[in-house]
Amino acid sequence: MAFFITSSPHAHSKKSTKTIMRMVALATIPGLLAQTYFFGWGTFLQVFIAIITAISAEAFILKCRKRPLKPYLSDNSALLTGLLLALAIPPLAPWWVTVIGVVFAIVIAKHLYGGLGQNLFNPAMAAYVVLLISFPVQMTTWLPVKELLTETISFSDSVWLILSGLNQDGFSVHQLTMNVDGMTMATPLDTLKTGLKSGLTTSEVLSSPIFNGFAGLGWLWVNIGFLLGGLFLLQQRVIHWHIPVSFLASLFVISSLFALFSPDTATSPLFNLFSGATMFGAFFIATDPVSAATTPKGRLYYGALIGALVYIIRTWGGFPDGVAFAVLLTNMCVPLIDYYTKPRTYGHKKG
């Protein structure tokens, strides 16, 4: 009887890596559909560009490393990396932004460390942060939801905007983000941060139509979509409950405390849970089986630390949403977390 030693990801189920990656990709469908409904066809186009680029980059680097193509390309890991990055990129970002990000994720963040199972950081989030720092304008230009737009954006308009930067009528993405009052619309989290810095109270900022009295037009349903996909992954035992539950619980508790003691400058815990990339990060990013903590207790600390960092970055950091930065910072802590949370060896007595 042979005994095989393999690298991560390790899954305590009979599902293969190929099946697990495919199920995670399928679980993003509710969030993908919600994002497309509220923000247009650009999301689907970014996903298409990202997946094609990811598979091409994976094949190229495998050829360079003299590895067989079929077993590595068929494990769906490259496809999933491209998909997750595309969902985090603004729908009408230029095509070259997506291509650069995906190539970085596959070639640098994944294969530079040895390939699947060897990477220290989540490839999609590492690429996202590189893009955010390198191209801040393109990476923060999110259109408002359809009902707040002054110009209707068709599928062909989305294609033109992504490929050339202008729609068929000659309008740029920046011009399309202008509302009827001539003011540039931003994401709810960005609007909140800007409003609070200018001296407004939380209730005054939330009165903006972009919030719709809660977590933001469209963003609430996008988060619900990813929550449904995450619950499916939990039900199928593709991911462990420890990380998403501790992530969301940590974010809920911290935001509740600040909302209680500083209601004029803090948002409600439900706002934090259903805005930005919270549910996407909790179920699809933080649970990466390679870069996340591996021990049961360690996963709880890992998720809780991410939740705390997300709130800290959102409140005092320079970026509106801190999920990507929080995940990467916590990835650095994984060896330490795993070392100090190793389960006691079976039969070993405490000294």
Q: State the pLDDT at residue 178.
A: 65
**Residue pair 19/237 in contact by the 8 Å Cβ criterion:** no
- Is the per-residue pLDDT at 179 higher than 70? no
Does some domain include residue 8?
Answer: no
Whether 193 and 180 share a structural domain: no
Whether 301 and 320 share a structural domain: yes
Q: State the pLDDT at residue 213.
A: 63
Can you say whether residue 275 is alpha, beta or left, with left for phi > 0 and alpha for psi between -120 and 50 degrees? beta
4-13, 46-55, 88-97: segment of lowest average pLDDT: 4-13
The last residue of one of the domains, among 152, 184, 216, is 184
Determine the Cα–Cα distance for residues 49 and 22; give it in Å rounded to an integer: 18
Nearest CA to 219 out of 249, 251, 185 is that of 185
Does some domain include residue 100?
Answer: yes
Whether 100 and 197 share a structural domain: no
Whether 198 and 320 share a structural domain: yes
**Residue pair 113/104 in contact by the 8 Å Cβ criterion:** no
Mean pLDDT of 284-296: 92
Whether 247 and 316 share a structural domain: yes
The last residue of one of the domains, among 184, 218, 250, is 184
Residue 46's domain comprises: 17-184
11-25, 157-171, 316-330: segment of lowest average pLDDT: 11-25
Mean pLDDT of 242-266: 93
pTM more than 0.85: yes
pLDDT tens, residue by residue, 189-203: 887 888 888 888 888
Q: State the pLDDT at residue 103.
A: 97
Q: State the pLDDT at residue 5.
A: 42
Residue 33: burial class (beta carbons within 10 Å; 0-12, 13-18, 19+) = middle
Does some domain include residue 202?
Answer: yes
Whether 173 and 34 share a structural domain: yes
145-149, 238-242, 296-300: segment of lowest average pLDDT: 145-149
The percent of residues above 90 in pLDDT, for the chain, comes to: 53
Does some domain include residue 349?
Answer: no
pLDDT tens, residue by residue, 84-126: 999 999 999 999 999 999 999 999 999 988 888 888 899 999 9
The last residue of one of the domains, among 184, 199, 221, is 184
Q: State the pLDDT at residue 345.
A: 62
Does some domain include residue 220?
Answer: yes
CB atoms within 10 A of CB 8: 16
Q: How many domains are contained in the chain?
A: 2
Whether 22 and 168 share a structural domain: yes
Residue 37: burial class (beta carbons within 10 Å; 0-12, 13-18, 19+) = middle
Whether 168 and 292 share a structural domain: no
CA distances from 96 to 52, 53, 93, 129, 135 (A): 13, 10, 8, 16, 11
